[in-house]
Structure 1
Amino acid sequence: MKRIILLFTLLLSFAVYSQVTVTPQSLQYNNSGSPGVNVGGCGLIDLGASTSTSINFGVTLSKPDALVTGDGNVYVYIKKNAGSNAVLKQTIAIPSGSWPTNVTTSVVTVSASLNVVPSDFDPTGGLLFVTYTSSGGAGYTSCSYQVKRNATPEFKLAPSLLGVPCNSTISTTFYVTNVYNSPGTLVYSWIIGSGWNVAAGTYQTASNSYTLTPVSYPPGNITVQAKLAGVDYSAGSSIVSLAPFTSTATIGGISSYCTYPTASIFSIDAGAGNTVAWSISNSSIGTISSPSNSQVTVTSLTQGIFTLSALITNPCGQTVTKTKVVTVGAPMPLIDNYSCPTESAPCALNNPANNNYLIYNLSAPVGSYVPVSSDWEWDKISGNFYFLNNGLYNSATATGTQGSIYLTGANPTDNPAKFRVRVRNSCGWGNWRTYNWTDGTTTPTNPGNPPTAYFKVSPNPVSSYFDISLINPSVAPQTSSPKVIRIYGQYGQLLQNNTVFYGVGYNSYNMTSFASGTYYVSITFDSFSESHTIIKI
């Protein structure tokens, strides 16, 4: 054990002895040409109010003669403050031949000089120190000189930004910080804007704080000047504005109507002093009546979905909107990326099959109802195909929002693949919607068949009125029967069914009351029906 302790002691002694000691000494500094000031050891360098300071000192390096350092360098650094990065001010080369040999301790002394300015250091104090680095990369550091300078008085007003809630009577204390604790008698001039519990104006105090309460909204800004030893210093301003208006209010009421027309009351607690303006996104599906700041009556008109909105305004004119999505009746599903003119007319699917596979996705306005897989149904009507069910393409039915189909044979244009879909919500099952898909292998050849459409609608998109006219003036319906115009919503709900014309066109159909969106215009006479998609803007 004694041998181990002795060996450890020898190793420690060798490690300590095998070091380069870096010692700055005889430092003298001159502030802006003033007489030099000597600093012993690593003492204090006081720049005072100097605009430029020169610093000169010696650096002694010592090491054991046996320690080989090779060519090295002495580096002189300063730091703006103790936590900042070091800034290199001077580099002094120490060639390997500079070191005396055949001595117990080898010593080298060099001279360092640098110039600094006050901005090199923070008023709170900076550092000056020296390092030596050998050719092998070993580094050794000296002690550090503390460097201070006179601080220009600085004052800061807080808070710099203040958001005041509408009608709030909560007081705020504004205060000024003497950043560098500059000594002397201080007088503060508070320039107070209007809207506080004191009249707008300038107030002088010896206190560095002032408490104010708002009385009108938004109150004005606060600006402060501090006077120290007859000199004015700006402490800045506090910019005052209204705090953002928020509300935790929610619209209460049903999330769906299962029948129509049906009236129901929706309510909201908007907060004292606030007003409420009610609106509805689609007045063809629901209408509002008897609005107040606390409730409104909404009457459902037809199947679909609408958003009820409550615009809350506070006494300062700030607003926030609350919404509630409401469904009417059982929903009608749509295959994504395809539109259908009506609920009853079949929808044509025209996408090509991918190696005999077709995949479709359903969506429907289910509102707040959360459907499960069994709430979506797919049902084969006819054609050469099967649905995927339990991992096999052998089923005439399927559930879920996605329908995967495998084509087992041709589905020509005169005998397409045909299936139907429906969806259920809290009101029950909606109607079936039928879809057709064909591979185009054959087409009907009966020359006596009428065209798929006689009429066109224009303009499209439409902002107010549209006209109905013949696509080909030489091809007109050979009938004297009345032609009925019906308007359907995006999900197939009938919106209007009371317009009839007898000739070969209809002018100025009024859509000014319709909300922006996609609609379908159906024209029916005798056993013939055609449909047109129109965009309302």
Structure 2
Amino acid sequence: MTLTVVINGGDCGTVTLAKQVWVGVPKFNSLIPIGNQNGYSPEEPSVSIGMNGEGCNQIRMKVLFDADALLEYQWEKFTTDVAWSVNTSSGNILISPQCNTNFSFRVRVRNSCGWSAWQQFEFPLTRCTIACDIPADPSPIVGANFLVSPNPVTSGLVTIGVKADAPWFLIPETNDPLNTSHNTGGNQLLERIRVNMSIFNSLGILVQQYTNLLVHPTPAQINISNLPSGSYIIIFEYFGQTESYTIIKS
């Protein structure tokens, strides 16, 4: 709120003084860079290369809350394999990655009125010359019922196919010579297969969802190019049955 005082000096004129005063618990304002970093966009700044051809840039930021007389910050990091430095008396944060990965954390702050709401952040760290835990061979993931490829995902496109012996979808062989379905031990796949599919990020947040996705006879292709680099869990659901796969987007 704004407090305004008007001082009437008579013949000497009038002076108006205004002061912004915060009432209540703190409220999140922004996350800003410190120094010459232009935000925490992966493109800023350029990656520093070490003697061995590898390197990472540290990221310095500050979390701002609207309130006066902040007493204490509370931090919680979800990405446990990335080093950071924070302070309970300030909003400064220093992130020191060793490789490219998704990074997530949350923070809240307290004043004399109480704690603010938690503010959560998630963004890709791509200021290193190497990525974290990405397999060298983009091979398909083979599960009980599905084929998911490639892994890691480099183009943003993921192909979902059904295994020839997928137990979810096998029905007794019809012995129809005109039936071109895959035959496995006297059984055959359903001619058309649709499933529900959900994609979750490393925090368990739903990021994409598909209903009645056709995956057979033609494999489905989905686009995840809009998702940040990192690890994702794909969950298939078919008449109450679920099956999960983990993919890496590089």
TM-score scaled by length of structure 1: 0.21
TM-score scaled by length of structure 2: 0.40
